[in-house]
Amino acid sequence: MLEHCTVVLVRTMFGGNAGAAARAVKNTGMGALRLVQPSFQDENEALMFAHGAEEILHQAPRLEDLGEAVADGRRVVGFTARRRQRRGYTMLRDFSESWVEEALESQALNTHLVFGNEREGLRTKELDHCTELVWIPSSPDHPSYNLAQAVLLTGYEFLMARMRMDPTMPALKPRQTRAPRPDHLSCAKEQEELFAHLRAAFLEIGYAHPHTVDSLMRSYREIFSRARLYRRETHMMRGLARQILWSARQLKKGSAAHGKGAPIEEEEAKEE
């Protein structure tokens, strides 16, 4: 449905905005992008901001005349933050909902969504090509949006309107990441080895003392019992304890070598 919407950018000054608009087109499922009299020179910047949607930018025709760019549109919608005399205008959310409703009742009409450049928006003569005007709500303190942001907001509102109103639209879900490797809960032996390493590390760094360490370890046993550690997690914790032990002993050896302490004897710890 939204593939019937074409974004038309007029006199775009910055390649980053053109590229980000191309990405917004692809993100929201709109049909295509057209560029009218673009003045930006940095094609690499445009491609960088179009990351993942480079083909939308490559396929965008570059035209000299807005009339030519919108000639095949059944509906030509101009976006402006300034109210025009003798012209009605619609808030974006209302427009997107009415557009989807009409598309569901009959068929989606070929629609061009026209955005002006970053400095001055759409000129009066350019608005003359538009059959409808739309505005995007914003704070009165700063009423104009960045060009690419305006395109993204527009596509998002169209997408959300379709999700609310089109029962045939496939459900959208967060992207599925790679499933973790299957694992088993750690066994009693692995947990005891972990506790032995933690006990040695706590004593080595002075976090616990011989007369308090047993009580402290009971608390840690309760914590890990509730957590129900998997084998991979148990190995990770043992690796941390081993690193603490190694670092503490290296520090003490360095101090002893400089006469700042007596050499320490290696404490027996059961290594994996």
User: Residue 37 in contact with residue 8, Cβ under 8 Å?
Assistant: no
Q: What pLDDT does 265 receive? A: 41
Q: Which residues of the chain have pLDDT under 70?
A: 85, 180, 258-272
Q: What pLDDT does 87 receive? A: 77
Q: What pLDDT does 266 receive? A: 42
Q: What pLDDT does 82 receive? A: 80
Secondary-structure class of domain 2-165 per CATH: alpha beta
Fold: same for 2-165 and 188-257: no
Q: What pLDDT does 270 receive? A: 44
User: Residue 240 in contact with residue 202, Cβ under 8 Å?
Assistant: no
Residue 163's contacts (CB-CB under 8 Å, 6 or more residues apart) are 169, 172
Q: What pLDDT does 260 receive? A: 54
Domain ranges of the chain: 2-165, 188-257
How far apart are alpha carbons 206 and 210 in whole angstroms?
10
* CATH assignment of 188-257, among 1.10.3470, 1.20.120, 2.60.120, 1.10.8: 1.10.8
| SS3 call for 261 | coil
Helices of type H across 142-212: 147-165, 188-205
Cα three-residue angle 122-128-130, rounded to 5 degrees: 80
Q: What pLDDT does 183 receive? A: 82
Q: What pLDDT does 193 receive? A: 92
Q: What pLDDT does 271 receive? A: 43
How far apart are alpha carbons 81 and 144 in whole angstroms?
6
